[in-house]
Amino acid sequence: MLFRRFSALLVACAGVVMLSGCMWNPAGISDPEPQGQVVSEAMPLSPSAQALARMGDLPSGEILVLPGGLSATASAPYAAASGRRCRDVALRGGEAGRGETRLACSGDGETWAWYPSVLP
């Protein structure tokens, strides 16, 4: 019986020591800053992200000049079966001088993202 009490007391003390050790901050160290990228004016957007940022107000057929010798031209927006508003975007130029067509869609009308094109 005495052994059980001693064991229970030992387990309880070990638990208190472990918990207090996890909460103790001897040097007053604050929590680290959240990881990930924080977009600011000092951090330039990639040409692809710049094209997405303009999708909501870019007139169809107008050429958007991007950094690095790239350009983007978007088709007229259409309502996709998913309920999103989408546009085909032709990206041209760059170092290799080649281009590609990508699909940009927005679910809320403000935030645009690249989506895989399911139709050729």
Structural domain contains residue 101: yes
Inside any domain, residue 73:
yes
DSSP 26-58: TT-PPPPPPPS----TTSPPPHHHHHHHTTTTP
For residue 9, tell me if it sits in a domain: no
Query: What predicted TM-score, i.e. pTM, was given to this entire model?
Result: 0.59
In a domain, 33, yes or no: no
In a domain, 3, yes or no: no
> Cα-flanking dihedrals φ and ψ of residue 49, to 5°?
-70, -35
Domain encompassing residue 92: 47-115
Total of domains in the chain = 1
Give pLDDT tens digits for 17-66: 444 444 444 444 444 443 443 444 556 788 889 999 999 999 999 999 98
Residue 7 lies in a domain: no
Asked if residue 103 belongs to a domain, the reply is yes
Tell me the pLDDT band of 120, cut-offs 50, 70 and 90: low
